[in-house]
Amino acid sequence: MIQIDGNSLTINEIQNAAVGQEKVTISPKILQKIQESRDWVEGIISEGEPVYGINTGYGIFADKQISSDETRLLNRNLILSHAVGTGDPLPTEVVRAAILIRANTLSKGFSGVRLILIETLLEMLNKKVHPVIPSQGSLGSSGDLAPLSHLGLVLSTGDQDLDDLSGFAEYQGSILTGKQAMAQAGIPRIILEAKEGLALNNGATFSAAIAALTCYEAGKLLKISDISLALSLEALLGTSDAFDPRIHKSRQHPGQIATAEMIRRLTNQSTMLDSTDRVQDAYSLRCSPQVHGPAKETLEFTSKVISREINAATDNPLLFSEGEAISGGNFHGEPVGMVMDYLGIAMTEIAGISERRVYRLTDGRLNENLPAMLVDNKHAEGLNSGMMMPQYTAASLVLENRSLATPDSVNSLPTSAAQEDHNANAMTAARHSYQIIKNTRHVLAIELYTAARALDLRLREQTDKHPGVGTKAAHKSIRKAVPYQPGDTLWGPEIDQVREMIINNQLLDDVNSALDQG
Which are the catalytic amino acids?
52, 82, 202, 283, 286, 331, 420
- Asked if the domains at 2-203 and 210-313+334-416+429-466 fall in one CATH topology, the answer is no
Tell me: pLDDT of 55 over 90. no
Helix (H), strand (E) at residue 318: strand 318-320
pLDDT for residue 350 = 98
Tell me: pLDDT of 307 over 80. yes
Closest CA to 369 of 276, 437, 281: 276
pLDDT for residue 341 = 98
Q: How confident is the model at residue 137 (pLDDT cuts 50, 70, 90)?
A: very high
Residues paired with 25 in a beta bridge: 3
Tell me: pLDDT of 59 over 80. no
**Check whether domain 2-203 has CATH 1.10.150.670, yes or no:** no
Q: How confident is the model at residue 58 (pLDDT cuts 50, 70, 90)?
A: confident
pLDDT in tens, 173-223: 999 999 999 999 999 999 999 999 999 999 999 999 999 999 999 999 999
Q: How confident is the model at residue 321 (pLDDT cuts 50, 70, 90)?
A: confident
Phi (first) and psi of residue 140, to 5 degrees: 75, 5
User: E strands within 8-110?
Assistant: 24-26, 86-89
Tell me the HSE value of 464 on the side-chain side, using a 13 A CA sphere: 1
pLDDT for residue 201 = 95
Tell me: pLDDT of 62 over 80. no
Q: By percentage, how much of the chain surpasses pLDDT 90?
A: 90
Average pLDDT of the chain, as a whole number: 96
pLDDT in tens, 25-45: 999 999 999 999 999 999 988
Closest CA to 407 of 435, 429, 440, 437: 429
d(CA 49, CA 449): 67
**Check whether domain 210-313+334-416+429-466 has CATH 1.20.200.10, yes or no:** yes
Domain boundaries, the chain: 2-203, 210-313+334-416+429-466
If phi over 0 gives left and psi between -120 and 50 gives alpha, with beta otherwise, what is residue 112? left
pLDDT in tens, 229-251: 999 999 999 999 999 999 999 99
What sign does the CA torsion over 36, 37, 39, 44 have? positive
